[in-house]
């Protein structure tokens, strides 16, 4: 059966093609600075997607994703700077400690729902934030901890390093793309459908033999792992970690990006992150109070377009892609009616 490409698929392919050529195209247009901005957008898109996995699919509003983002960032930084490990052991360690933290906190948080869940995730985030602020010998506190990133690969005498902007861009793109594909596989699996089921009606799910607590816990841990990957990538990208990465306001940004982009969709959070970060970068050049405009945009979306950018885009495409024959049939019936009457009278 041939694959049918919808207009939304075509737009996605155009976006993917742009991402592929951006490191070469943007410098030609005098916008080399935007190569790093797009790389940052991809990292934050993954973070927003981890928020969406809980909010959009499992029905859990988390303000604690910054905790796993920060643990991932600190894990890779300490692995490199304190333990003296090479790139890959440090990166894996970062994801591991973020996931382990999600397991520990998830044991308690997954028992709760609604505002109780949101509150406990904020509490966990604040606890570890204040620990990081006070433990300056390890974390650097507010001042943070810079570090040098070792080579990613060594092939013969050639080194591939994150200091190379083009390699860094494609490395981030590959990791983020792999994570989104893995998330797609999970959400299309029976496990993914149980996430939606526990969001819709946990009581009915328990009646057919599933444990709502276990489903929420698994979703919580998976979301924490993806947030940890985003934290690892951002630390490698910035070559710096700070206790501020653990603060709940970072989680709040992820929630906003997911809401503006469209919760319950795979790529909606990526759209939201891209849109708001681009707005931030452009407005910050001309006005120091640019966050005021960003706040108005968020309020307008929440009030008048709760389906987000992805919902608006899908609706617009459906409206414009309607075939002319959809409107031609009623007109044909109307024009045929007088003829039928005439025929009947003759």
Q: How many residues does the chain have?
A: 346
pLDDT of residue 332: 42
Rg of the chain in Å (alpha carbons): 24
Is 60 exceeded by the pLDDT of residue 335? Answer: no
Least confident window among 71-75, 88-92, 113-117, 193-197: 113-117
Strands 240-241 and 153-155: unpaired
Q: HEC states along 7-35?
A: HHHHHHHHHHHHHHHHHHHHHHCCCCHHH
Residues 6+ apart with CB under 8 A from 123: none
Task: Read off the pLDDT of residues 2-39 as tens digits, 9 standing for 90 and up.
Answer: 567 777 778 888 999 999 999 999 999 888 889 999 99
pLDDT of residue 287: 80
Task: Read off the pLDDT of residues 166-189 as tens digits, 9 standing for 90 and up.
Answer: 999 999 999 999 999 999 999 999
Q: CA angle, 325 as apex, 320 and 326 as ends, to 5°?
A: 65
Cα(332)–Cα(329) distance, rounded to whole angstroms?
5
Q: CA angle, 72 as apex, 67 and 78 as ends, to 5°?
A: 120
- DSSP helix/strand/coil, 161: coil
Reported confidence tier of residue 341, pLDDT bands at 50, 70, 90: very low
Number of other CB atoms surrounding residue 11 within 10 Å: 12
Identify the bridge partners of residue 153 per DSSP, sorted by sequence position.
160
Query: What percentage of the chain carries pLDDT values higher than 70?
Result: 92
Cα(245)–Cα(66) distance, rounded to whole angstroms?
6
Nearest Cα to 183, choosing from 16, 58, 40, 10?
58
Task: Read off the pLDDT of residues 254-283 as tens digits, 9 standing for 90 and up.
Answer: 999 999 999 999 999 999 999 999 998 888
Reported confidence tier of residue 334, pLDDT bands at 50, 70, 90: very low
The most distant pair of C-alpha atoms in the chain lies apart, rounded to whole Å, by 101
Residue found under tokens 């699919």: 57
Number of other CB atoms surrounding residue 108 within 10 Å: 12
Average pLDDT over residues 130-153: 90
Task: Read off the pLDDT of residues 59-78 as tens digits, 9 standing for 90 and up.
Answer: 999 999 999 999 999 999 99
Average pLDDT over residues 304-310: 88
Residue 92 Cα distances to 50, 52, 168, 313, angstroms = 18, 23, 17, 37
Residue-by-residue DSSP string for 274-328: HHHHHHHHHHHHH-TTHHHHHHHHHHHHHHH-TTHHHHHHHHHHHHHT--THHHH
Number of other CB atoms surrounding residue 183 within 10 Å: 21
What angle separates helix 33-52 from helix 65-81, to the nearest 10 degrees? 130
Reported confidence tier of residue 324, pLDDT bands at 50, 70, 90: low
Is 50 exceeded by the pLDDT of residue 210? Answer: yes
Cα(239)–Cα(145) distance, rounded to whole angstroms?
9
């Amino acid at each position: 059966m041939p694959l049918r490409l919808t207009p939304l698929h075509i737009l996605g392919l155009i976006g993917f093609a742009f991402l592929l050529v951006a490191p070469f195209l943007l410098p030609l247009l005098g916008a080399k600075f935007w190569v790093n901005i797009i790389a940052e957008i991809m990292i934050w898109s993954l973070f927003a997607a981890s928020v969406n996995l809980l909010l959009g699919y499992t029905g859990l509003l988390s303000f604690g994703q910054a905790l796993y983002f920060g643990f991932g960032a600190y894990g890779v930084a300490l692995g490199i700077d304190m333990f003296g490990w090479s790139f890959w052991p440090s990166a894996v360690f970062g994801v591991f400690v973020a996931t382990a933290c999600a397991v520990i906190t998830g044991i308690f948080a997954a028992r709760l729902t609604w505002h109780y869940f949101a509150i406990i995730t904020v509490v966990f985030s604040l606890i570890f934030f204040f620990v990081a602020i006070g433990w300056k010998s390890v974390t650097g506190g507010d001042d943070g901890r810079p570090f040098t990133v070792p080579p990613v690969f060594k092939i013969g005498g050639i080194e591939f390093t994150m200091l190379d902007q083009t390699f860094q861009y494609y490395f981030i793109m590959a990791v983020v793309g792999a994570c989104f594909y893995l998330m797609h596989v999970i959400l299309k699996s029976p496990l993914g459908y149980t996430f939606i089921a526990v969001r819709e009606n946990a009581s009915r799910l328990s009646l057919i033999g599933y444990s709502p607590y276990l489903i929420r816990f698994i979703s919580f841990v998976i979301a924490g792992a993806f947030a940890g990957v985003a934290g690892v990538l951002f630390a490698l990208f910035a070559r710096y970690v700070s206790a501020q990465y653990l603060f709940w306001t970072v989680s709040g940004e992820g929630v906003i990006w997911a809401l503006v982009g469209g919760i319950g969709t795979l790529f909606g959070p990526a759209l939201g992150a891209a849109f708001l970060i681009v707005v931030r970068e452009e407005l910050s050049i001309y006005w120091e109070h640019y966050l005021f405009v960003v706040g108005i945009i968020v309020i307008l979306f929440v009030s008048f377009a709760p389906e987000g950018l992805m919902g608006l885009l899908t609706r617009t495409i459906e409206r414009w892609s309607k075939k002319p024959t959809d409107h031609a049939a009623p007109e044909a019936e109307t024009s045929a009616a007088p003829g039928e009457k005439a025929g009947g009278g003759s």
